[in-house]
Amino acid sequence: MAIVTFRMIPLIAAAAVIGFAAQARDDGRYANSPLKGWFESLHSKGGGPCCADADGTALDDVDWDTRGGHYRVRIQGEWIEVPDDTVITEPNRVGRTIVWPYYINGRAIIRCFMPGSMT
């Protein structure tokens, strides 16, 4: 039986995140999109890749807002504060708000967030 020390916990967490990023949902539908390369180049301020458009979830304006100077999103009926280091600050080429979540034990964690125009 393996013993997990506190020093191993960050390594395990990093491996889990890398595993989630590698399990992209891009099934080829977006292979010919002119924005495919742009989506794949997106990274959060923290340096993590957002992956592709196929991995993101477009949000309606009623499912995101700001409170106290921070973005928040509604995913599966729950409001989640978006960590500042996950916000994409470059110009949004598609206009719609997109969030890239991953899930741990059914709980949504924000990998990247790109605000839209909120029209």
Sorted by sequence, the CB contacts under 8 Å of residue 94 that are 6+ apart come out as 35, 53, 116
Give the C-alpha separation, 43 to 112, whole Å.
Answer: 7
Under DSSP, the state recorded for 87 is B
What pLDDT sits at residue 69?
93
In this predicted structure, the answer to whether residue 85 has a pLDDT above a threshold of 70 is yes
Q: Is the pTM of this model over 0.75?
A: no
DSSP 37-85: HHHHH-B-TTS-B---GGGSEEE-GGGEEEETTEEEEEETTEEEEPPGG
Averaged pLDDT, 59-71: 94
pLDDT tens profile 16-38? 443 334 344 445 555 677 887 88
In this predicted structure, the answer to whether residue 77 has a pLDDT above a threshold of 80 is yes
- Check if the beta carbon of residue 35 is closer than 8 Å to that of residue 93: yes
